[in-house]
Structure 1
Amino acid sequence: MDPTTSAHAAALWAGLHIVLLLVLSVLVTRQRRKHRVEIGDGGVPALQQAIRAFGNATEYVPAALAGLSLLALVGAPPLLIHPIGLILFAGRIAHAVGLSRSTGASLPRAGGVLATWISLVAIAAALLFYAIP
């Protein structure tokens, strides 16, 4: 198998997740400008939600992208990297949508967390599998 194929798979998901982080960042900026809040959340619920959606993504996405990149480096097949990347990406979008609509529990938010955790478990298991010669 061509190792660049795995790298291309990881690059796709890294690129999409970076775009997602940029979109979430823009949403925070829009709320800040709308409510004229320069620092913190100003007690504005919509801004609080936007900040948490971005913050939560920044808590999970970097480790997952590092894991996907390492999987590409150790030669994991794209057929492993793509499903994990897709589940992670769908989970992060679902979580952001759920959190942007409500601070309480919601199906998109719960599904997003579950998809994120499943992705991280899959990444960890695959890395451990490839780490053992």
Structure 2
Amino acid sequence: MSAPITGLYAALCALVLLGLAVRVSWVRRRAEIFLGDGGDPALQRAVRAHANAAENMPLALLLLLTVELAGTAGWLLHGAGIALVAGRILHGWGLNRSAGASFGRVAGMALTWGTMGVLAGIALTAAAGLPLT
């Protein structure tokens, strides 16, 4: 049993997470803060952008895998994967630019949470034995 669509989006999410981790390292080096955040606002934002992605991606990917294995249509899986990756990029970009509300943060979380909500609904439907098509 394989899950190539989930594999694709897991790989893309890993690249987003890696990019956010590299950003933390760059900000650390520039600020010369190698443990904690030293109260540096840019480092605090970079760390939270990375952590937020690490907190949200695993559950979303687990849901994507669950519904792929349940036989959900490919177009829906790709739509959810694209929304997840776009949401994580937007959120990371928005949070790295500003600690306050921004388009990137709001749109990123809306896409991420919306994706998880839709996938959770599909997973519940599959768990109840109802048809997915």
TM-score between both structures, scaled by the size of structure 2: 0.92
Q: Which residue of 1 aligns with 2:10?
A: 14
Give the partner amino acid of 2:23: L
Per-residue deviation, 1:10: 1.0
Q: Which residue of 2 aligns with 1:35?
A: 31
Residue 104 (structure 1) aligned to one of 100, 103, 118: 100
Give the partner amino acid of 2:35: I
Q: Deviation per CA, 1:70-91, whole angstroms, max 9, x where unpaired?
A: 1122222211211011111111
SS in 2 for 1:57: helix
Q: Does 1:52 align with 2:52?
A: no
| Aligned equivalents of 2:104, 2:20: Cα separation in 1 | 16
Q: Deviation per CA, 1:87-123, whole angstroms, max 9, x where unpaired?
A: 1111111111110110011111111111111101011
> Identity of aligned pairs, percent?
42
The gaps in structure 2 that reach 5 residues or longer are: none
Q: Which residue of 1 aligns with 2:123?
A: 127
SS in 1 for 2:15: helix
Give the partner amino acid of 2:102: S
Query: Runs of 4+ in structure 1 displaced over 6 angstroms?
Result: none
TM-score between both structures, scaled by the size of structure 1: 0.92
| Aligned equivalents of 1:34, 1:58: Cα separation in 2 | 23
**Structural RMSD (CA):** 1.1
The gaps in structure 1 that reach 5 residues or longer are: none
Aligned residue pairs total 129
